[in-house]
Amino acid sequence: MSFSALSASANETNPDEKVAQADQVTNIKIQQLDQQIILECINLARFNLHFHGSVNQKNFSQEWLYPMEREAGTALSFTNTMVDLRQRARGLSNPDLISRAAQKKGLQCALVGQAITGTSSGVQLATNLIKSAQARKQGFSPTRSIATVQKSVAKIDRLLEAREQLVTADEVEEKKQIYGLESRLLQHIRNQLVFEFKTWSIRSRSVEWSEDTFFAIDSLQGFTAMASSCIGLKAFTTPQLGGAAAITNLVASNLVMVNPVVRSLVGRYAANRQRHRLAKELPGEKPKSIDEVLLEWNTHKEDASSRNAATIEARELAFLVRRSSAMDSTLNEEVQRFERLRRIADQQAVSGPLIGLTGVTRGVLNATAFYTSGSSNSPGSSGPSHSRFVSNDLNFAGRVVQSTGQAYSLILTPVTEVRHYFYKRRLEKEGNLPRQILKARLDKLDELEARINTLKY
């Protein structure tokens, strides 16, 4: 019987029947509110999943093309290092044996490689910015996503408040106990979904800012190194420019060394800023375990199911949210591992600074060779014989150190990519890829929503 039919017939019955009908009207009102609350919770859970999937998507360019471009750039720079190292080795006994033509060709290879490096990182930065713009259009920007969640939470809170008023007005203590249990269940679902959004939002801001910072600095580094090579080529005819080339190259090597550190610091700062913002706009701590509520539910489930069919579905939603929250740490670990395995050697927290440090060592020795020996460090230039030997020895030592860093980078990047490929393939076979997990959750929510919509009161 509908709510309006019950109200119409209330005037035609005796007082006891009126009380019973009023009680039934209250039950229907509560069930209708529960249905609306659960549907809104499902909408919030669905938004969370779409948000998480949107901010963690990576395309072919980011997963494969960028590492290949960086590998090509590093290989060309390594070619220059090996050419120069060979010529420096020939000049250890007699600097006149150094071939300036060979060194020039090697430097031209490095220039092309540095152009590829700077351009590839610039393209990735532009890609991230485009993705951010698309996310804003889809409602997944920080401001719009928070506004969406706030709107959903406000609606749930209004429905919960209306429900509480009906429960408080009920005079039957046993019913109030059951309704109170259902309220706690619904409140926990609401709190867990808000906490889930906050966790993913904080992580998305951290990843976005750390990646963009790395690509910006790396692009700057590539073009700075390219400028150094251009000056170095000019120094073959104007030896006085050798110092400027050495200093510029040293700056570029320092950017390689500090980039992973700066990227991490910026990511942490962005995460803390987002955490502070969410604490103000979506207040609330991490919800406690729902196990106690579910245990009480199992004790009273017969009474609860006889009074409120909608909260049977709420219990299923609660279990789904509980399983989801238990898996979130695992899911986040998988996403973080995906991020680590996507990183090229220069991006990684340990290898990046070490590779940069080998370049800094070479840059320091190169600059020292020039400024302690004047222009005599340039192959074929005139100058004190002793200074030319010292200059060549210092440059030889610097190239040896730099070659180890470049060789390590050339090996580590493809090894990491291969590990990423097989790891991703194994998870896909098991159905445990992050996108597969998110899709399974969405399917369950769709199924639950369809059942909720079939309930009639």
Q: How far apart are CA 313 and CA 89, in angstroms?
A: 77
For the record, the structure tokens of 101 come out as: 């033509």
Output the CA–CA distances (angstroms, integers) from residue 13 to 1, 6, 16, 21, 172, in the order listed: 16, 11, 8, 9, 22
What are the contacts of 366-371 at 24+ separation with CB within 8 A?
Answer: 366/246, 366/249, 366/250, 366/394, 366/395, 366/398, 367/243, 367/246, 367/247, 367/250, 368/394, 369/246, 369/394, 369/395, 369/398, 370/242, 370/243, 370/246, 371/243
* Per-residue pLDDT, 382: 43
The answer to whether 121 and 215 are in contact (CB under 8 A) is: yes
Residue 271, Cα to own-chain centre: how many angstroms?
11
Closest CA to 26 of 41, 10, 11: 10
Q: Please name the residues in contact with 167: beta carbons below 8 A apart, sequence gap of 6 or more.
A: 30, 176, 179, 180, 183
Amino acid at 174: E
pLDDT tens track, the chain, 457 positions: 455 554 555 455 566 676 567 667 777 888 888 888 888 988 998 998 888 877 666 776 677 888 899 999 999 999 999 999 999 999 998 888 999 999 999 999 999 999 999 999 999 999 888 888 888 888 888 889 999 999 999 999 999 999 888 888 766 666 777 777 778 888 888 888 898 899 889 988 998 899 999 999 999 999 999 999 999 999 999 988 999 999 999 999 999 999 999 999 999 999 999 999 999 999 887 776 666 666 655 655 544 444 455 556 666 676 666 655 555 555 566 566 656 666 776 777 778 888 999 999 999 999 999 888 755 444 444 445 568 888 999 999 999 999 999 999 999 888 888 888 888 888 888 887 778 888 888 888 888 888 878 766 5
Q: Please name the residues in contact with 204: beta carbons below 8 A apart, sequence gap of 6 or more.
A: 51, 52, 55, 56
Q: How far apart are CA 61 and CA 307, in angstroms?
A: 56
Cβ-based neighbour number of residue 1 at 10 Å: 11
The residue written with tokens 């779409």 in the block is 50
Phi and psi at residue 322, to the nearest 5°: -65, -45
The domain tally of the chain equals 1
* Per-residue pLDDT, 314: 66
Phi and psi at residue 93, to the nearest 5°: -95, -25
What is the DSSP secondary structure assignment for residue 384, as one 8-state letter?
Answer: -
Q: Which domain holds residue 361?
A: 3-453
For the record, the structure tokens of 402 come out as: 């730099």
